[in-house]
Amino acid sequence: MQKLALLKGAVKHYDWGGVSLIPSLLQVENPQMKPFAEYWLGVHPGAHCILVMDDGRELLLRDYIQSSPEALLGAAVNAAFGQMPYLLKVLDVKDMLSIQVHPSRAGAVLGFEAENSRGIPLNAPGRNYKDANHKPELMVALSGFYLLHGFKPETQLLQTLEAVPELHSFIPVFKSEGYKGLYKRAMELPQEEVNILLQPLINRIIPLYQQEKLDKASEDFWAARAAQTFVQPGSIDRGIFSIYFFNIVHLKTGEAIFQDAGVPHAYLEGYNVEIMASSDNVLRGGLTSKHIDTAELLKHTKCEATHPQIIPAGGNRKAKRYPAPVTDFELHSYELNAGDEALLQPATAELFLLTEGEVALSSGDNLAVLKAGSIAAVAFPGMEVKVRAGAPSLLFRATVPL
């Protein structure tokens, strides 16, 4: 049974994706400038991830693991999950992603079963739940990265509502009904009232945006960009309210942040590596051309103050662990100079993802060289894995906390 092999992941061509990062990593041409938004590695049905064996055979990673799950996952992970419980991705965010939340595990089970009982096909555009799993996620910035993350603390949110004339009508709602009342009001307003409130705001900020007079730390910058990106005649996207209600977080390269079930968020711009529970459940509330279900979004949103907890880039840069309060996944990174070596002991199926440089992974008679064009590998428990860098490199390792 082969314990180490190269992997080919799945590219997702969502319309918000950039055109250069992922093609560069995979060494593929993109003459039509097609969006390469995400690169998936894992066993989720949406991740058509191919294991490349030493003898040239190509097998689906999930099928290979299911051929001998206890040996390839380890007894503990197989007993707890029955399959690789995480999904690893590279994201290139050129345009803003949707305002969204992810359900808890219990909420996902209920929602998945309810949509199944109504006979909604898994691939239906109007489906909310693609599986019965939760989707906590952690992201590490590969560049300067901007995102919306949870509701602003009360004082800051009130200051914002008072500073933006078009949002003054929300002040008494927030003072009397709190976060839940505020968000419910914004998300359930008739579209005509949304237009009446937001049109003057858009008229005021778009000229400033076009003249490059707005800073990315400003809500007006992202609201103006959203207004120009998500244009539907006679229907201003209510997701713009969330830009003013939520924290704007700027991560520097190497910094990370964790997003649990129920925390509303949206990625705005930048490159990242992201790890999450093996799920594709997303409940959307705006700033997207995909299915929006505000009632389902509100049902699962944590309407409370959020104080963003940024995981710093510092510490031991050669070997860093990014903490996350979940059992589904754990992410490590290794910043290596040419000639650096590390010895690893996989206790479960682990994924390796190279974003810079070149490294050789060896385990017994198996060798996997990661470099531009071949950036991912999987190692299974039972043998030590030796990592050796052939150039200055950045390597991510996805595993499960044990």
- Which are the catalytic amino acids? 284
- With CA atoms as reference, report the closest residue to 101 among 306, 303, 284: 284
Give the type of residue at 89: K
| Residue 4 β-bridge partners | 379
Asked whether the CA dihedral 107, 111, 114, 116 is positive or negative, the reply is negative
The rounded distance, in Å, linking the Cα atoms of 155 and 138 is 27
- With CA atoms as reference, report the closest residue to 241 among 183, 295, 297: 183
Q: How far is CA 19 from CA 92, 130, 178, in A?
A: 8, 27, 41
Phi, psi of 220 (to 5 degrees): -60, -35
- With CA atoms as reference, report the closest residue to 42 among 135, 143, 121, 104: 135
HSE of 364, CA atoms in CB hemisphere, 13 A: 13
